């Protein structure tokens, strides 16, 4: 297949023709390599799935009876002479970058990632490659994160002061990733952690997978409201403003997301506390991660792709914008944040696919994804 | 400054009114009196004079953050607030500062006679000693309007709790022209009379709307059920001019607009009649352009608002007069606690004595025996150059702010057309990074001609949907503006329409806003430029 790049972009997802497999495809395919279990990356309907060991139970929990093979970080799978291996992405437990090698040419698909060690996901490791396909959800310089020790000191203080002022504490984060990160960093001397069922189901899946999580108590019809109000309530975004949440009133409600760096976004959420906590790399994290790959070209799949690629080109990278269904270009401020838990876990709605194929045909300026390979 | 920055942060950190009041009280209780007055000034729109123009502040901020201009501009579009953008982009500071708000504002004011180089050095040093939250409020002080998401009434409530002085009295005491440098906290809380500050206006009493949109239209019967006997009410036309309070005290005159701007010099035509009023008189009314005894549309008056100097031509083209409807002070006494009917009699007597009846006019009372009769009369509003009718309970006192109960505005339905959205731009503040500002077009043959911009009228959920549409249907980008696929149709409402040579469409609208999203209409069925022109005055 002369002139065809090792990885290419199709209306089903990122495709390796040489090895005949897809990475994070959003349409049903035969062989799918999955970076992580979030709904905008792990879709339902593929014949065979390949993912990391630590994604196993969550994927089975979310996608049901699928044909799933799991491997360790660094372990290599060979398909038609193409070597596939997984490397830690630091995004959530079990998240992986996908390294693809054929005849010495190396491509890496980042999936979603963050560079800070959150203490619970295997820390991000840069992987040397020729071509790096990166997310850039927070690819604007206004997004810079504080160290998580500072953030959680604030969270624990807030919890404590709510107790003193007679407020229950509700902390909101995505059920896979954010929830466990919060759980492991709460000061359990202050009180117990109570969980919404959606989060507890994910916790149980992770515990089945051998992850040691701090103790939690599932909130049920039998839970004593008074007891729950003395602890902290860990809830998913979908529960905000529901009667389920209101029954704990009066409460103070904190929303954990990178979008909370911007005052306007925080005010829109009407959260009492906008806690700037993200499982994605910030501006500096993205640049250092891309730099560390030593790549010749970088392809940006989702986030502020236009601005970020322009900046990367200015500072000497060969950067290109590509369009995918991950996270969704720029739409996060108005849509559910990029972890994508609220997105349907099946095929995307009709109509969006035409958008993708149109974007693929319209090669980005400066070369583009199609035909960009060797 | 730390306390002030924390105040901002704490106010942001709660959506509950009681909590906000508590935060404000904590602030008042913990800062020096001079800081209290500065905070009060800032929270009531009294910003220190801008000493460094915002272009320079921007330029130096880009330098401090070490990013290219285009990336700074795009960051600003994402954040939607200049002060916040600058504070987010700068590297973390290594030093800190314990200067108070008062000290910082004194430093800002002292920049007036500094060179540009000195200003720059001062600013760079200042940024380097402030943390990001302090920097945000500091940048606000330097550049922005101080919108804080806290109403003046909440600030007053906190202050009332702290001082034991009633809220309406405090509201009055912070009206008018004062700066924190010349009005002390001790003066604010001591016993005062109206004469202590001869220029000080009273807080305006504002009417509550009976209906806001055509969809919520109220019938005469519903109005009757809500307001009771027609005989208990007086009705006037709702004039479309500039709400103003006119003061004559100690031989001096002052004209205040509702935005608490001193506008005395903007309306020289009013000076003779005001000077002829007895001392100790305060009138409330509407300033309008008049010609041959007839009020002119607001667009005529608009041509002279905002002008620094009023040329002879402007004075000749757009002469103003006052339609007075209330008297708040008479013979030096605050008469706001008298009834509407009593105050009206005093007003009528004052007006009867004026030798300038063409300039000092009375707002005529509309005769009506029943709500149905008034509803019929109201239909003539547009012909009267009025926006509808005002209802005032005859035994009402003159209250403070927008209060439900005794004053109501019953506006006529807005004019409206169905239009296609063609451009979108991101909003600011809580609409940051969302496409919320739209330009609308109507058909002229097979072309769409833009005729209005509108920002308000959609719910948050609808805004999210339009934002989603814009991001997926962008045809071109021009800086912050996106051309979008013409597809979405909205009903646009407006209060008035006039010819305009400055607009492509040849027309200008007054107060356009979105009435509703016409999901049911394809773009081909949107209105035409001809149908808009048919709404011009004098077109039937």
CA-only gyration radius of chain A, Å: 21
- What pLDDT sits at residue A287? 97
Residue B403 confidence (pLDDT) above 80: yes
| DSSP for residue B414 | P
Between chains, do B467 and A272 touch, taking CB under 8 Å as contact? no
**Same structural domain, A14 and A139:** yes
Between chains, do B14 and A263 touch, taking CB under 8 Å as contact? no
Q: How far is residue A4 CA from its own chain's centroid? A: 29
What percent of chain A clears pLDDT 90, i.e. is strictly above it?
78
Q: Is B428 on the interface with A (CB under 8 A)?
A: yes
Q: Which residues of A touch B432 (CB under 8 A)?
A: 262-265, 333
| DSSP for residue B457 | S
Structure tokens at B339: 């009834």
Per-residue pLDDT reduced to its tens digit, A335-356: 433 333 333 333 333 333 322 3
**Same structural domain, A51 and A130:** yes
**Same structural domain, B361 and B222:** yes
Rounded CA separation B345/B363 (Å): 12
Indicate the Cα dihedral angle A172, A173, A179, A182, nearest 10°.
Answer: -70
**Same structural domain, B222 and B356:** yes
Mean local confidence (pLDDT), B201-225: 81
Q: Which residue has the higher pLDDT, A56 or B45?
A: A56
Is A163 among the domain residues?
Answer: yes
**Same structural domain, B369 and B445:** no
User: Chain A interface residues facing chain B, Cβ-Cβ under 8 Å?
Assistant: 140-142, 144, 252, 261-268, 270, 272-274, 304, 307, 310-311, 314, 329-331, 333-335, 355
Q: Which residues of B touch A272 (CB under 8 A)?
A: 13-16
Mean local confidence (pLDDT), A54-65: 95
Between chains, do A142 and B433 touch, taking CB under 8 Å as contact? no
Closest to B471 (Cβ–Cβ): which among A265, A314, A331?
A331
- What pLDDT sits at residue B87? 95
**Same structural domain, A234 and A269:** yes
**Same structural domain, B527 and B397:** no
Between chains, do A264 and B75 touch, taking CB under 8 Å as contact? no
- What pLDDT sits at residue B150? 84
Q: Which residues of A touch B461 (CB under 8 A)?
A: none
What percent of chain B clears pLDDT 70, i.e. is strictly above it?
96
- Cα angle value B508/B512/B516 (rounded, 5°): 140
Between chains, do B79 and A262 touch, taking CB under 8 Å as contact? yes
Closest to A141 (Cβ–Cβ): which among B14, B89, B467?
B89
Between chains, do A334 and B463 touch, taking CB under 8 Å as contact? yes
Touching A: B residues 47-106, CB under 8 Å: 65, 67-68, 70-71, 74-75, 78-81, 84-85, 88-89
Rounded CA separation A186/A233 (Å): 11
* pLDDT confidence tier of residue A362, bands split at 50, 70 and 90: very low
Q: Which of left, alpha, beta for A6 (phi over 0: left; psi -120 to 50: alpha)?
A: alpha
Rounded CA separation A212/B457 (Å): 50
Residue B162 confidence (pLDDT) above 90: yes
Mutate to test the interface with A, among B75, B93, B140, B479 (most CBs of A within 10 A): B75
Chain B nearest CA to A140, separation (Å): 7
- What pLDDT sits at residue A109? 98
**Same structural domain, B400 and B380:** yes
**Same structural domain, A232 and A284:** no
Domain boundaries, position A258 = 148-275
Buried b (16+ CB within 10 A) or exposed e, B480-510: eebbbeeebbbbbbbbbbeeeeeeebbbbbb
- Residue B314 CB coordination number (10 Å): 13
Per-residue pLDDT reduced to its tens digit, B439-483: 999 999 999 999 999 988 888 889 989 998 998 888 888 878 899
Asked if B90 contacts A142 with a C-beta cutoff of 8 angstroms, the reply is no
User: Which of residues A223, A254, A275 is at a domain's end?
Assistant: A275
Q: Which residues of B touch A273 (CB under 8 A)?
A: 13
Domain boundaries, position B485 = 415-533
Closest to A142 (Cβ–Cβ): which among B88, B428, B472?
B88
Read off the CATH number of the domain in which B67 is found: 1.10.3260.10
Mutate to test the interface with B, among A137, A139, A141 (most CBs of B within 10 A): A141
**Same structural domain, A154 and A126:** no
Is B196 among the domain residues?
Answer: no
* Nearest of A371, A307, A328 to residue A131 by alpha carbon: A371
Between chains, do A141 and B75 touch, taking CB under 8 Å as contact? yes
Read off the CATH number of the domain in which B526 is found: 2.40.50.140
**How many CA atoms are closer than 13 Å to the CA of A152, on its beta-carbon side?**
16
Rounded CA separation A159/A254 (Å): 10
Between chains, do B432 and A265 touch, taking CB under 8 Å as contact? yes
Is A370 among the domain residues?
Answer: no
Q: Rounded to whole angstroms, what are the CA distances from B386 to B176, B215, B237?
A: 29, 21, 6
Residue A371 confidence (pLDDT) above 80: no
Q: Is B430 on the interface with A (CB under 8 A)?
A: yes
Give a three-class secondary structure readout of chain A: CCCCCCCEECCCCEEECCCCEEECCCCCCCEEECCCCCCCCCCCCCCEEEEEHHHHHHHHHHHCCCCEEEECCCCEEEECCEEEEEEECCCCCCCEEEEEEECCEEEEECCCCCCCCCCCCCCCCCCCCCEEEEEECCCCCCCCCCCHHHHHHHHHHHHHHHHHCCCEEEEECCCCCHHHHHHHHCCCCCCCEEECHHHHHHHHHHHHCCCCCCCCEECCCCCCHHHHHHCEEEECHHHCCCHHHHCCCCEEEEEECHHHHCHHHHHHHCCCEEECCCCCCCHHHHHHHHHHHCCCEEEEEEECHHHHHHHHHHCCCCEEECCCCCCCCCCCCCCCCCCCCCCCCCCCCCCHHHHHHHHHHCCCCCCCCCCCCC
Rounded CA separation A290/A297 (Å): 10
For residue B485, the SS3 value is: coil
**Same structural domain, B405 and B431:** no
Between chains, do B79 and A273 touch, taking CB under 8 Å as contact? no
Asked if B131 contacts B96 with a C-beta cutoff of 8 angstroms, the reply is yes
Per-residue pLDDT reduced to its tens digit, A201-217: 999 999 999 999 999 99
- What pLDDT sits at residue B13? 82
What percent of chain B clears pLDDT 90, i.e. is strictly above it?
59
- What pLDDT sits at residue A370? 25
Chain A nearest CA to B525, separation (Å): 24
User: Which of residues A223, A240, A275 is at a domain's end?
Assistant: A275
Residue B230 confidence (pLDDT) above 60: yes
Rounded CA separation B473/B470 (Å): 5
Is B75 among the domain residues?
Answer: yes
Residues 6+ apart with CB under 8 A from B421: B438, B439, B440, B441, B466, B484, B486, B487, B488, B489, B490
Task: Give the count of domains, chain B.
Answer: 3
**Same structural domain, B253 and B394:** yes
Between chains, do B15 and A140 touch, taking CB under 8 Å as contact? no
Is B99 among the domain residues?
Answer: yes
Structure tokens at A288: 């250092």
Is A106 among the domain residues?
Answer: yes
Residues 6+ apart with CB under 8 A from B257: B242, B243, B244, B263
Is B179 among the domain residues?
Answer: no
**Same structural domain, A178 and A163:** yes
Rounded CA separation A25/B378 (Å): 63
Strands A31-33, A21-23: pairing kind: parallel
Residue B338 confidence (pLDDT) above 90: yes
Q: State the average pLDDT for chain A.
A: 86
Q: Which residues of B touch A355 (CB under 8 A)?
A: 472
Task: Give the count of domains, chain A.
Answer: 2
Residue B290 confidence (pLDDT) above 80: yes
User: Which of residues B411, B427, B446 is at a domain's end?
Assistant: B411
Is A372 among the domain residues?
Answer: no
Q: Which residues of B touch A329 (CB under 8 A)?
A: 471
User: Which of residues A219, A242, A275 is at a domain's end?
Assistant: A275
**Overall size of chain A counted in residues:** 374
Residue B382 confidence (pLDDT) above 60: yes
Read off the CATH number of the domain in which A155 is found: 3.40.50.10890
* Nearest of B470, B509, B473, B474 to residue B493 by alpha carbon: B509
Rounded CA separation B417/B421 (Å): 12
Rounded CA separation A275/A151 (Å): 8
- What pLDDT sits at residue B265? 87
Flag whether the pTM goes above 0.90.
no
Strands B415-426, B435-444: pairing kind: antiparallel
**Same structural domain, A261 and A283:** no
* pLDDT confidence tier of residue A294, bands split at 50, 70 and 90: very high
Q: Is B315 on the interface with A (CB under 8 A)?
A: no
Q: Which residues of A touch B149 (CB under 8 A)?
A: 267
Residue B491 confidence (pLDDT) above 90: yes
**Same structural domain, A90 and A130:** yes
Read off the CATH number of the domain in which A28 is found: 3.60.15.10
**Same structural domain, B12 and B133:** yes
Is A367 among the domain residues?
Answer: no
Read off the CATH number of the domain in which B220 is found: 3.30.470.30
**Please, what sign has the CA dihedral across residues B402, B404, B410, B415?**
positive
DSSP run (H or E) holding B388:
strand B386-393
| DSSP for residue B432 | B
* pLDDT confidence tier of residue B61, bands split at 50, 70 and 90: very high
**Same structural domain, A220 and A207:** yes
Between chains, do A331 and B68 touch, taking CB under 8 Å as contact? no
Q: Which residues of A touch B68 (CB under 8 A)?
A: 311, 314
Q: Is B179 on the interface with A (CB under 8 A)?
A: no
Closest to B15 (Cβ–Cβ): which among A141, A272, A335?
A272
Q: State the average pLDDT for chain B.
A: 90
**Same structural domain, B439 and B398:** no
Chain A nearest CA to B85, separation (Å): 7
**Same structural domain, B424 and B381:** no
Chain A nearest CA to B120, separation (Å): 23
Give a three-class secondary structure readout of B193-230: CHHHCCCCCCCCEECEECCCCHHHCCCHHHHHHHHCCH
Rounded CA separation B175/B187 (Å): 14
**Same structural domain, A246 and A301:** no
**Same structural domain, B399 and B452:** no
Is B113 among the domain residues?
Answer: yes
**Same structural domain, A92 and A21:** yes
- What pLDDT sits at residue B301? 85
Asked if A141 contacts B77 with a C-beta cutoff of 8 angstroms, the reply is no
Which span out of A261-275, A277-291, A353-367, B189-203 was modeled with the highest average pLDDT? A277-291
**Same structural domain, A19 and A53:** yes
Between chains, do B81 and A266 touch, taking CB under 8 Å as contact? no
Structure tokens at B302: 């608009």
* pLDDT confidence tier of residue A368, bands split at 50, 70 and 90: very low
Is B157 among the domain residues?
Answer: no
Is A374 among the domain residues?
Answer: no
Is B519 among the domain residues?
Answer: yes
Q: Which residues of B touch A314 (CB under 8 A)?
A: 68
Per-residue pLDDT reduced to its tens digit, A87-135: 999 999 999 999 999 999 999 999 999 999 999 999 999 999 999 999 9
**Same structural domain, B391 and B486:** no
Q: Is B351 on the interface with A (CB under 8 A)?
A: no
Chain B nearest CA to A267, separation (Å): 6
Strands, sheet with A14-16, edge to edge from the N-terminal-most edge strand: A8-9, A14-16, A21-23, A31-33, A48-52, A68-71
Is A154 among the domain residues?
Answer: yes
Residue A183: φ, ψ to 5°: -55, -45
For residue B26, the SS3 value is: helix
Between chains, do B12 and A331 touch, taking CB under 8 Å as contact? no
Per-residue pLDDT reduced to its tens digit, B104-123: 999 999 999 999 999 999 99
- What pLDDT sits at residue B431? 79
Q: Which residues of A touch B80 (CB under 8 A)?
A: 262, 264
* pLDDT confidence tier of residue A171, bands split at 50, 70 and 90: very high
Is B184 among the domain residues?
Answer: no
Q: Is B149 on the interface with A (CB under 8 A)?
A: yes
């Amino acid at each position: 297949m002369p002139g065809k790049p090792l990885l290419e972009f199709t209306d089903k997802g990122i495709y390796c023709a040489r090895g005949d497999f897809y990475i994070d495809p959003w349409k049903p395919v035969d062989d799918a390599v999955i970076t992580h279990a979030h709904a905008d990356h792990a879709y339902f309907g593929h014949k065979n799935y390949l993912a990391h060991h630590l994604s196993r139970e969550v994927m089975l929990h979310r996608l049901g009876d699928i044909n799933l093979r799991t491997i360790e970080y660094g372990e290599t799978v060979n398909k038609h002479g193409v070597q596939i291996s997984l490397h830690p992405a630091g995004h959530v437990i079990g998240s992986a970058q996908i390294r693809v090698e054929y005849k010495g040419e190396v491509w890496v698909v980042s999936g979603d990632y963050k560079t800070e060690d959150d203490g619970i996901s295997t820390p991000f490791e840069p992987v040397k490659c020729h071509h790096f396909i990166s997310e850039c959800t927070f690819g604007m310089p206004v997004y810079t994160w504080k160290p998580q020790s500072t953030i959680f000191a604030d969270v624990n203080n807030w919890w404590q002061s709510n107790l003193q002022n007679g407020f229950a504490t509700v902390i909101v984060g995505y059920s896979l990733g954010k929830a466990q990160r919060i759980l492991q960093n709460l000061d359990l001397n202050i009180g117990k952690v109570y969980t919404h069922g959606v989060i507890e189901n994910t916790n149980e899946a992770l515990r089945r997978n051998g992850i040691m999580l701090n103790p939690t108590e599932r909130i049920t019809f039998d839970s004593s409201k008074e007891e729950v109000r003395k602890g902290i309530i860990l809830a998913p975004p979908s529960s905000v403003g529901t009667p389920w949440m209101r029954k704990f009133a009066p409460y103070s409600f904190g929303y954990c997301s990178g979008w909370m760096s911007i005052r306007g976004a925080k005010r829109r959420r009407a959260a009492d506390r906008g806690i700037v906590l993200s499982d994605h790399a910030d501006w500096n994290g993205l640049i250092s991660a891309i730099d560390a790959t030593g790549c010749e070209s970088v392809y940006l799949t989702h986030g502020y792709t236009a601005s970020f690629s322009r900046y990367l080109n200015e500072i000497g990278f060969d950067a290109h914008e590509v369009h995918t269904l991950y996270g969704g270009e720029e739409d996060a401020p108005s849509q559910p944040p990029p972890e994508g838990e609220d997105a349907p876990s099946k095929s995307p709605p009709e109509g969006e696919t035409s958008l993708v194929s149109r974007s693929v045909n319209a090669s980005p300026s400066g070369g583009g994804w199609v035909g960009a390979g060797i | 400054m730390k306390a002030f920055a924390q105040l901002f942060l704490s106010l942001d950190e709660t959506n509950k009114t009681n909590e906000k009041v508590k935060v404000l009280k904590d602030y008042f209780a913990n800062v020096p009196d001079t800081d209290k007055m500065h905070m009060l000034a800032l929270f009531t729109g009294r910003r220190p004079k801008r000493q460094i123009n915002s272009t320079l502040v921007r330029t130096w901020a880009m330098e401090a953050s070490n990013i290219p201009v285009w990336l700074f501009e795009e960051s600003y579009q994402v954040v939607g607030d200049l002060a916040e953008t600058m504070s987010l982009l700068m590297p973390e500071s290594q030093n800190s500062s314990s200067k108070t708000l008062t000290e910082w504002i004194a430093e800002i004011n002292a920049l007036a006679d500094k060179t540009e180089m000195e200003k720059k050095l001062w600013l760079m040093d200042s940024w380097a000693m402030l943390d990001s939250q302090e920097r945000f409020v500091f940048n606000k002080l330097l550049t922005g309007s101080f919108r804080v998401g806290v109403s003046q009434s909440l600030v007053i409530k906190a202050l009332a709790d702290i001082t034991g002085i009633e809220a309406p009295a405090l509201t009055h005491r912070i009206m008018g022209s004062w700066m924190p440098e010349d009005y002390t906290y001790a003066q604010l809380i001591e016993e005062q009379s109206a004469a202590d500050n001869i220029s000080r206006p009273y807080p305006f009493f504002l009417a509550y709307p009976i209906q806001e949109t055509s969809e919520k239209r109220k019938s005469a019967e519903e109005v009757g059920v809500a307001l009771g006997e027609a005989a208990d009410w007086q009705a006037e036309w709702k004039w479309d001019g500039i709400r103003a309070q006119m003061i004559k005290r100690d031989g001096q005159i002052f004209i205040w607009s509702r935005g608490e701007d001193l506008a005395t010099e903007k309306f020289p035509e009013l000076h003779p009649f005001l000077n002829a009023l007895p001392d100790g008189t305060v009138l409330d009314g509407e300033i309008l352009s008049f010609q041959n005894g007839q009020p002119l549309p607001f667009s005529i008056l608009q041509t002279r608002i905002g002008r620094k100097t009023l040329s002879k031509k402007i004075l000749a083209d757009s002469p103003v007069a006052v339609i007075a409807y209330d008297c708040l002070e008479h013979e030096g006494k605050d008469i706001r606690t008298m009834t509407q009917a009593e105050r009206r009699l005093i007003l009528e007597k004052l007006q009867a004595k004026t030798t300038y009846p063409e300039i000092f006019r009375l707002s005529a009372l509309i005769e009506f025996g029943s709500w149905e009769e008034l509803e019929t009369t109201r239909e003539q509003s547009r012909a009267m150059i009025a926006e509808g009718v005002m209802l005032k309970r005859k035994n009402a006192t003159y209250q403070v702010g927008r209060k439900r109960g005794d004053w109501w505005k019953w506006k006529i339905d807005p004019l409206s057309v169905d239009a296609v959205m063609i451009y979108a731009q991101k909003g600011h503040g809580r609409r940051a990074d969302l496409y919320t500002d739209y330009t609308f077009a109507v058909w002229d043959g097979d072309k769409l001609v833009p005729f209005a911009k509108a920002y308000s009228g959609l719910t948050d959920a609808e805004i999210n949907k339009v934002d989603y549409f814009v991001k997926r249907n962008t045809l071109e980008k021009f800086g912050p503006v996106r051309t979008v696929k013409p597809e979405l149709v909205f009903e646009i409402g407006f209060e008035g329409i006039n010819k305009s040579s400055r607009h492509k469409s040849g027309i200008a609208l007054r107060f356009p806003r979105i009435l509703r999203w016409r999901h049911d209409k394809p773009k081909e069925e949107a209105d035409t430029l001809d149908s808009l022109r048919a709404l011009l005055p004098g077109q039937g």
